[in-house]
Amino acid sequence: MSVLNILSFVGFTALVAILSYYWTKGTDEHHSEGYFLGGRSLTAPVIAGSLLLTNLSTEQMVGLNGQAYTEGVLVMAWETLAAIAIVVTALMLVPRYLRSGISTIPGFLEERYDEQTKIITSILFLSGYVIVLMPIVLYSGALALSTMFDVPALFGISDTAALWLTVWAIGIIGSIYAIFGGLKAVAVSDTINAVGLLIGGVMIPVFGLMAIGQGDIFAGISVLYTENPDKFVAAGGPDSSIPIATIFTGMMLVQLFYWGTNQAIIQRALGAKSLVEAQKGLLFAACIKILGPIIVVLPGIIAWHMFKGELTVADQAYPRLVNEVLPGWARGFFAAVLFGAILSSFNSALNSSVTLFGVDIYRRFFQPAARDEQVVRAGKIFGTFLAVASMVIAPFIANAPQGLFGYLQEVNGCYSIPILTIILVGIFSRRVPPIAAKIGLASGVGLYIISQFVLKPALGAEGYPHYLHVMFILFVLNVCIMLLIGRMYPMERSWAPSGEAPVDMTPWPIAKPLGLAVIVIVLSTYLIFR
């Protein structure tokens, strides 16, 4: 990269940091509500921007485009179906969360079941974040930035050393945001970066199509579709990463877990100043999510066409395409935007981990009478250790099976579906007892691990049910187990939410019509690419 590109990278990154500090300096982050929930002051634009940046990072831009490189448009299911899950979250789940006044999802489970359920769930979330999510974000981000900046050549070091260097650089800067800034600093920086990411993310397919079409975008689209028609079929076959049948089974469960129960995501809505702002933010995010394939799917197909399918590692498709089509003057800005997206996903997961530890674990096991200041301080110390652990783990993901995104989704199933099961049963039933939740968690985690990491290798992957089907089967099984226990050993009293909502609970009047419109558009997309 030229000196100009390096300066633009540093300049935009510094601008985000300065603006984030300026807009959040008045927030009281010495107390738990200010630090963990931004003082319940988040508005719709901040919520929407933070949701998108928390979700859209290099594990998608690199990983999902890598899958699109080999499989085509069918992988758009991860983006388009997310919009439906966000609608369900906005209309059905968030009102219940806000009415309870909770800070964490495990906190809701404590209110519905008991403290033990809360602790178990918090540990599952933390394990997933530190072992899977944060290391993958760091690794994928380091891979992209190292390729764009050509770090091995820049410093005269090996590819492995460049990976370690870049991972630690990203991790340290992201940790500063998450640990010392709290939720509001994370959310505000996310919002600023979201604008840059939408601009920069669209630039890649635009320049790619122009390159294919000799300067004409529409000619590029025509050439791309005409010469690669098999890449524009949304219905995946039995041997694809997303067989069409999985859309009606495990796919929607994964989406609903991520957008409706995942602490790193839902914490933004929990920090809303009102139900209206929460629903606005979520539904705005759903509308933009429909356009997600333009950024995280189309570039992969363009890369397949331009590189003639000759790349040996599919996850290299996006970084290679960026270097190939992006003009020199824009690389510094795009690198800064990509860096912001990486930071967003990493620091969001880290901030949520700090919240889970401080609110759900520290007060229970270490200092039951701790003041808010002590809880915040303990959370920051824990976050530091968590960040270091993630930075150590990240470089070892280089040989992940089936690509980054596929690996992430399959491993996440260990805890995602069990947690989703007990939350949904808890919301829609009134008499299922706490013991049912514990059995549901234990059986869900245990059976999934046995299925995917014992039986599947022993029996062979060929002919074994797709992991999304396995998720659905175990979800149905555990729901039945919990309801059966509830029928045999019901709670003495029907559960009902307690307490008074800390924010205005008036719903957004157009939430339902807008949500319905989003669902119709998503379904129409599948008719177009049938």
The secondary structure of 351-390, three-state, reads HHHHHHHHHHHHHHHHCCCCCHHHHHHHHHHHHHHHHHHH
Spell out the residues 6+ positions from residue 467 whose beta carbon is closer than 8 angstroms to its own: 250, 409, 410, 413, 452
Structure tokens at 474: 């175990």
3-state DSSP helix/strand/coil percent for the chain, to nearest 5?
A: 80, 0, 20
Could you tell me the residue range of the domain that residue 290 belongs to? 3-20+34-401+505-528
pLDDT of residue 34: 45
Which residues, 6+ apart, have CB-to-CB distance to 335 below 8 Å?
Answer: 1, 5, 9, 145, 148, 149
- Indicate whether 377 belongs to any domain: yes
Asked if residue 452 belongs to a domain, the reply is no
Q: How confident is the model at residue 306 (pLDDT cuts 50, 70, 90)?
A: very high
**Environment class of 483 (CB within 10 Å of its CB; exposed 0-12, middle 13-18, buried 19+):** middle
Would you give the end-to-end CA distance of the chain in angstroms? 42
Give the model's pLDDT for residue 332.
77
- pLDDT at position 98: 86
**Does 1 have pLDDT greater than 50?**
yes
Query: Which tens digit of pLDDT belongs to each residue from 142-189?
Result: 877 787 777 888 788 888 888 889 888 888 877 776 666 555 566 666
Comparing 155 with 83, which gets the higher pLDDT? 83
Contact criterion met (CB below 8 Å) for 248 and 260? no
* Span 112-128, pLDDT tens digits: 898 889 888 888 888 88
Q: What is the pLDDT of residues 240-249, one digit of tens each?
A: 888 888 988 8
**Mean pLDDT of the 395-407 span:** 62
Mean pLDDT to the nearest integer, 74-100: 91
Lowest mean per-residue pLDDT among 93-107, 175-189, 210-224, 451-465: 175-189
Q: Above 70 in pLDDT, residue 252?
A: yes
Contacts of 464 (CB under 8 A, 6+ apart): 455, 456
Q: pLDDT at position 476, please?
A: 95
pLDDT at residue 225, as a whole number: 92
Phi-psi region of 496 (alpha: psi -120 to 50; beta: other; left: phi over 0): beta
Per-residue pLDDT at 66 exceeds 70: yes
Assigned domain for 378 exists: yes
**Span 267-288, average pLDDT:** 89
Q: Supply 224's token pair.
A: 């791309």
β-bridge partners, 304: none
Answer yes or no: is 61 within a domain.
yes
Run of H or E residues at 476: helix 467-488
pLDDT of residue 227: 92
Q: How many distinct structural domains can be found in the chain?
A: 1
Domain harbouring 146, CATH code: 1.20.1730.10
Overall average pLDDT of the 385-400 stretch: 79
Q: Reply yes or no on whether the pLDDT at 36 is more than 50.
A: no
Domain presence at residue 267: yes
Mean pLDDT of the chain: 83
433 within some domain: no
pLDDT-derived band of residue 59, with 50, 70 and 90 as boundaries? low
| CA distance linking residue 397 with residue 245, whole number of Å | 29
pLDDT above 70 covers a percentage of the chain that reads 88
In a domain, 450, yes or no: no
Mark 407-442 as b/e (b = at least 16 C-beta within 10 Å).
Answer: bbbbbbbbbbbbbbbbbbbbbebeebbbbbbbbbbe
The three-point CA angle 57-61-62 to 5° equals 110
